[in-house]
Amino acid sequence: MVHFDVRGLREPDAPTIILSSGLGGSAAYWGPQLGFLEERFRVVVYDHFGTNRSPGDIGENYSITEMAGDVLEIAETLSLTSFSFMGHALGGLVGLDIAHRFPGLIDRLILVNAWAKADPHSGRCFDVRIELLQKSGVAAFIKAQPLFLYPAIYMAQNAERMDAEEAHAIESFQGTQNILRRISALREFNVEDRLSAITSRCLVIATKDDLLVPYERSIHLSDNLSSAELCLIDHGGHAVNVTSPDLFNDCVQRFLMR
């Protein structure tokens, strides 16, 4: 069982939203969103298996469906028959997998810089990151990570935060085998021919300056999901919920409260 925390409203019948982070797998990633969500929802955040407070060795042929199984186990533990779900990048793939295989379980699905099938450009970025990890080591891999997450101006204005994040990421590194198998899982994911069958109400959020995932991938999701709207933000990079929280939170709040 992965480690998860329940925050916000405590009533048994309170509306619930589960938040799933990207490749790093950390529940703490959603810090800028917890304030407004906790006022209106029972909020569930969790550390993905093999990361942070959910340690373990990831096996061969690991898949997004296996990651989705951890969310389904959380939902069963909390006796949830329906919930909202917000996923960033890899976390969004987890949401798409659940929404396709279990219609009606996810009421509202928020996809942040996600995709139905990985773009070749994203593949190039992951190739670079893998080569750094295998040939230059963990420290080089971690040092390059912000380049794929944040705009240059944000990194320049938050130099101390970048140093602190780098030190923490090295200390809590999930392990070479785990991260390589998680990258492999997201690269293998493909729901291109199943998007129209997903009935959850969807909000697709993308940023035009995302270095890792071209925003066209989000437009494609919005155009092909059966019930979706697009929130396209001009700046914020891949981790837009961290770098531009006001714009991001406003977009999410309007969708959830509608």
The pLDDT tens digits of the residues spanning 126-178 come to: 999 999 999 999 999 999 999 999 999 999 999 999 999 999 999 999 999 99
* Number of compact structural domains in the chain: 1
**pTM (2 d.p.):** 0.97
Predicted local distance difference test score (pLDDT) of residue 12: 82
Query: pLDDT tens for residues 10-31?
Result: 988 899 999 999 999 999 999 9
Distance CA 83, CA 109 (A): 9
- Judged against a pLDDT cut of 90, whether residue 258 lies above it is answered with no
Predicted local distance difference test score (pLDDT) of residue 68: 98
- Provide the token pair at 205: 């959020």
Which domain range does residue 240 map to? Answer: 4-257
CATH of the domain at 39: 3.40.50.1820
* 26-32 CB contacts, 8 Å cutoff, 24+ apart: 26/51, 26/52, 27/3, 27/52, 27/53, 28/52, 29/88, 29/239, 29/241, 29/242, 30/86, 30/241, 31/242, 32/241, 32/242, 32/245, 32/248, 32/249
Check: CB of residue 118 under 8 Å from CB of residue 187. Answer: yes
- Provide the token pair at 152: 């240059």
Q: What is the mean pLDDT of the chain?
A: 97
Write the DSSP symbol of residue 29. Answer: G
